[in-house]
Amino acid sequence: MRSVTVTGKTIEEAMKDALNQIGTVQENVDIEVLEQPKKGFLGFGGKPARIKVTKKLDIMEQTSTFLQEVISNMGVEASIEGRREDRDLYFTLSGEKIAILIGKRGQTLNSLQYLTNLAANRFSDRFVRVVLDAENYRERREETLKKLADRLADKAMVTKRDIQLEPMPSLERKVIHLYLKDKKGISTHSDGNDPHRRVVIVPRNK
């Protein structure tokens, strides 16, 4: 039950009744006073307070609802599973047409992730980070990025020239930075502004 309309002799009494019905505390609800209580004359003609109490959706529910609406508007049916680890919200998408939501090199998935991050931080009173995955794409993409990083790091050392990678979202840039952090002979940094920010591999012996 998310919303109830109740009456009581006072607003406080009505509120207590509503919270018992919904099964939550006052901090988790929005309250709309529909009618103020009125005292009658000599015990006649009085009116009770009438309020509408609606349980607030938590950040996971709000973000999942937003994501589901966006996916539906794309004409794709997908189920969403979510979990939260402190400020990180993880959502996994699955369905028959999931490839549409991933897109070429994960571009559609990354765009969905970006939009969902914006929405989640509008719902939240503190910064949160959303990570979307589909069909284990993130793990497969991480392995691809590591192989690419190895190949381009070797190329940078041989040619003694900086190597610029294609623009990537921050999570993918982080994979490369961490993977090459301890590799001898090169260093890495990011250059440019999102969404065109990219990793640069720099040989130390150039």
The arithmetic mean of pLDDT across residues 89-112, rounded, is: 92
Question: What ranges in 5-136 are assigned the alpha helix state H?
Answer: 11-22, 59-73, 98-102, 107-123
pLDDT at 201 over 70: yes
pLDDT grade, residue 45 (50/70/90)? confident
Q: Whose structure tokens read 């309020």? A: 51
User: Cα 157 to the chain's mean position, in Å?
Assistant: 39
pLDDT at 192 over 90: yes
Helix (H, G, I), strand (E, B) or coil at 97: coil
pLDDT at 126 over 90: no
pLDDT grade, residue 42 (50/70/90)? low
Per the CB < 8 A criterion, the answer to whether 147 and 162 are in contact is no
pLDDT at residue 206, rounded to an integer:
64
Q: Omega into 48 within 30° of 0, i.e. cis?
A: no
pLDDT at 1 over 70: no
The secondary structure of 126-167, three-state, reads: CCCEEEEEECCHHHHHHHHHHHHHHHHHHHHHHHCCCEECCC
pLDDT in tens, 137-149: 999 999 999 999 9
Determine the Cα–Cα distance for residues 56 and 81; give it in Å rounded to an integer: 20
43 to 8, 37, 50: CA distances (angstroms): 16, 13, 19
| Averaged confidence pLDDT in the chain | 91
Q: Tell me the residue type at 100.
A: I
**Selection from 39, 22, 84 nearest residue 59 by Cα:** 84
Q: Go through the domains of the chain in sequence order and give each one's CATH number.
A: 3-55 (3.30.30), 59-135 (3.30.300.20), 139-203 (3.30.1370.50)
pLDDT at residue 41, rounded to an integer:
72
Residue 44 gets which letter from DSSP? B
The C-alpha torsion from 68 through 70 and 75 to 81, rounded to 10°, is -30
pLDDT at 170 over 90: no
Determine the Cα–Cα distance for residues 175 and 42; give it in Å rounded to an integer: 76
Helix (H, G, I), strand (E, B) or coil at 47: strand
pLDDT at 125 over 80: no
Q: In what order do the strands lie in the sheet with 3-8?
A: 3-8, 49-55, 29-35
Q: Are strands 129-134 and 88-94 parallel, antiparallel or unpaired?
A: parallel
